[in-house]
Amino acid sequence: MRLRPSRTLATVVATGHVAALAGVWLTLPAAGAAVTTLGLAVSAVAFARRLAAHPRALAFRADGGLECIDRNGVVRACRVLDTNVATWWLVTLTLDTGHGGPTAIALFPDSCDRESLRRLRAWLVLHGRSPASPPRQAGLTASESAQSLTRR
């Protein structure tokens, strides 16, 4: 599954940086605001560098494992750590490729095609790497659906 840079993630991070910048300049004296602005610029550059280091693709192996393909086309077997979330609007993965430290990836619906994201969510649940949400029943809220499952 090919991974694309997420516009949603970029928008959220950029909005957070701009809001922090506005708050800093509205509340701090000029010297403090200038120093904090420098810190926010360093944070934005660090975020961009982290995104550039993310895998460009993930591949499911026949043995049930996962492989990462980096920006240079190098394929590495990776181990999925237990700190993952799989919801309909966000999948977070923490991968250990044995090359450097763990890598955290946030995948929004615009990060890859819909079917690949569905397969990844199912893979995470089936391999015990993400807590499974109780199935929702039509016409019920999530809490009502969960309560009806516990009554059975």
The number of beta carbons lying within 10 Å of the beta carbon of residue 67 is 15
> Counting beta carbons within 10 angstroms of the beta carbon of residue 36, is it exposed (0 to 12), middle (13 to 18) or buried (19 or more)?
middle
Are the C-beta atoms of residues 38 and 88 closer than 8 Å to each other? no
Q: Which residue, among 108, 138, 121, 130, has the nearest Cα to 4 in the 3D structure?
A: 108
Q: Which residue, among 16, 2, 136, 133, has the nearest Cα to 57 in the 3D structure?
A: 2
Question: Model confidence over 111-137: pLDDT tens digits?
Answer: 999 999 998 888 888 876 665 544 444
Question: Model confidence over 2-41: pLDDT tens digits?
Answer: 998 889 998 999 999 999 999 999 999 999 999 999 999 9
The pTM of this model reads: 0.70
Q: Which residue, among 96, 83, 89, 69, has the nearest Cα to 124 in the 3D structure?
A: 83
Per-residue pLDDT band at 54 (split at 50, 70, 90): confident
Q: How far apart are CA 70 and CA 55, in angstroms?
A: 4
Domain positions in the chain: 7-52, 54-126
Residue type, 112: C
